[in-house]
Chain A
Amino acid sequence: MHKESVAQCMRRGAITCSEETSLHFVAQIMVVNRIRYCAVLNEMHEVKGLISADNMINAFGKDFDQITAKEILNRDMIVTVSLDTPIEEAVALMAKKGIEHLIVVSEKTGSRAVIGMVYASDIVSRMARRKEQEALS
């Protein structure tokens, strides 16, 4: 059987903000788009870090109109894979690092530009549907 790669389970495109975006606006981006992760890009469109709902709460109680994305972004959470990484390898990486997302970067262009993201929700729905697919085939 053909081995499946990240390309089959990722979502193309990523929802991002700039380093200067205020946390209030980041919170709005997350809520409106119903996502828990927002990638922070610099002017060159390179990923500088990631803000998750979990590290947003560290700023709770402060004036989050004054705090910019740059101040709370998490650099450790940038874990990247390429389009042809096998899914098993990608999931093992997520489980090992204890994260629920992966950033997919382009190897071809050499610029390491973000192509998309892999979310744990998509992996879990694959797990849920696997049995049905096996029964059908």
Chain B
Amino acid sequence: MKICDLMHKGVISCFTEDSVQDVAKMMDDHQFRSVVVVNERGEVWGLITYREMLSRYGENISKLKARDIMRQYRIEVDPQWPVERAVELMKRLHYYHLIIVDPHVGTKWPVGILTSFDVVKYMAQLEAGHFEQMLKLGREDTIHSFSPEGTN
């Protein structure tokens, strides 16, 4: 299995000068945990995840720029690598979002993103037919559902 088979194709990106308010809106609209920050040439510059956003809660985020809060990103991952190599990298660096860059162009253009959740999807080995799987899971009594007294 190669990274390109598993990764999320395409990234949500913003420019270094965009406001954090816009980044929050992007995350909310697309339900993405990470936004790739690119420079004016479209090269990968940094990454903003929920973790960076949380530390700015309560501040005036429309005044902040993406480059002020982003995490520098310098790892280059090729889409043709085997998944094992990516997982190894995640474990070693504790980076759970890997930005995949296009190896065929000179610049670091992002083409996709591989997160730990994509790896879990691979581990789950669920075949097509999402709803059948849900029904099957629903029958198992391993999932507890409960509501403690006095909380509703």
Contacts and interface: CB of A to CB of B under 8 A. Distances in A.
Interface in A1-39: 12-13, 15-18, 21, 23-25, 27-32, 36
Interface string B104-147: 00000000000111011101111000100110010010111111
Range of interface residues on A (Cβ < 8 Å)? 35 or more
A128 interface: yes
- Which of B54, B56, B96, B145 counts the most A-chain CB atoms under 10 A from its CB? B54
Interface of A: 12-13, 15-18, 21, 23-25, 27-32, 36, 41, 45, 52-54, 56-61, 64, 83, 88, 91-92, 94-95, 98, 100, 106, 108-109, 111, 113-115, 120-121, 123-125, 127-129, 131
Contacts of A36: 116-117
Interface residues of B, number: 48
Nearest to B145: A13
Nearest to A120: B50
B48 to A, nearest CB: 10
Nearest to B141: A18
A95 B130 CA distance: 34
A124 B116 contact: no
B62 interface: yes
B87 A16 contact: no
Interface in B25-50: 25, 27-29, 31, 33, 50
Contacts of B119: 53, 56-57, 60
Contacts of B142: 17-18, 21, 25
Given A29-B137, A108-B151, A115-B148, A24 B123 contact: yes
A32 B130 contact: yes
